[in-house]
């Protein structure tokens, strides 16, 4: 088995890709190696160039648990779709739903912000607020 985004894997993919193909990728653990601190994650430059080349031949989507703004900072190319917060943000036609998600997350954040919350006393646990979702690390 070969890694799909390796040189050999990409060479095989080129034979299947057409202008009608949709190529969808996740960021963490797929395009960017997993790192101890999520804000340190980076997509390697050579992979950025390869993905940019794919955007000229087919539709590329990035679907990530990160916020769209966070993911956009990591990209040196413009995918056709950038879907963030596990699908809560950036999905065409669902913009109104994101208002509901933001309101719900604001309520959760208010509850979880109390110093008496048990998660606050677990060493190394942090809460990341992404407007449309919350993530514990």
Domains, the chain, ordered by start: 7-136 (3.40.50)
Between 1 and 13, the more confident residue is 13
Q: What is the pLDDT of residues 97-128, one digit of tens each?
A: 888 989 999 999 999 988 899 988 999 888 98
Q: How confident is the model at residue 51 (pLDDT cuts 50, 70, 90)?
A: very high
State the Cα–Cα distance between residues 30 and 70, nearest whole angstrom. 16
State the Cα–Cα distance between residues 109 and 23, nearest whole angstrom. 34
Q: What is the pLDDT of residues 17-28, one digit of tens each?
A: 888 999 999 999
- Checking if the pLDDT of 1 tops 60, the result is no
Identify which of 130, 131, 69, 129 has the alpha carbon closest to the alpha carbon of residue 100: 131
User: What tokens appear for 71 in the block?
Assistant: 């993911």
Mean pLDDT of 50-71: 93
Identify which of 109, 43, 93 has the alpha carbon closest to the alpha carbon of residue 70: 43
Mean pLDDT of 35-56: 92
8 A C-beta contact, residue 59 and residue 51: no
């Amino acid at each position: 088995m070969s890694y799909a985004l390796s040189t050999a894997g990409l060479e095989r993919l080129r034979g299947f890709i057409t202008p009608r193909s949709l190529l969808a990728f996740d960021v963490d653990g797929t395009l960017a190696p997993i790192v101890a601190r999520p804000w340190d994650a980076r997509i390697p430059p050579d992979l950025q160039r390869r993905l940019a080349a794919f955007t000229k031949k087919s539709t590329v989507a990035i679907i990530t648990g990160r916020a769209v703004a966070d993911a956009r900072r990591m990209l040196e190319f413009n995918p056709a779709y950038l879907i963030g917060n596990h699908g809560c943000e950036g999905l065409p036609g669902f913009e109104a739903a994101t208002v509901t998600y933001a309101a719900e997350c604001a309520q959760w954040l208010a509850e979880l912000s109390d110093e008496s919350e048990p998660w606050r006393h677990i060493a190394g646990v942090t809460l990341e607020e992404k407007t449309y979702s919350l993530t514990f690390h």
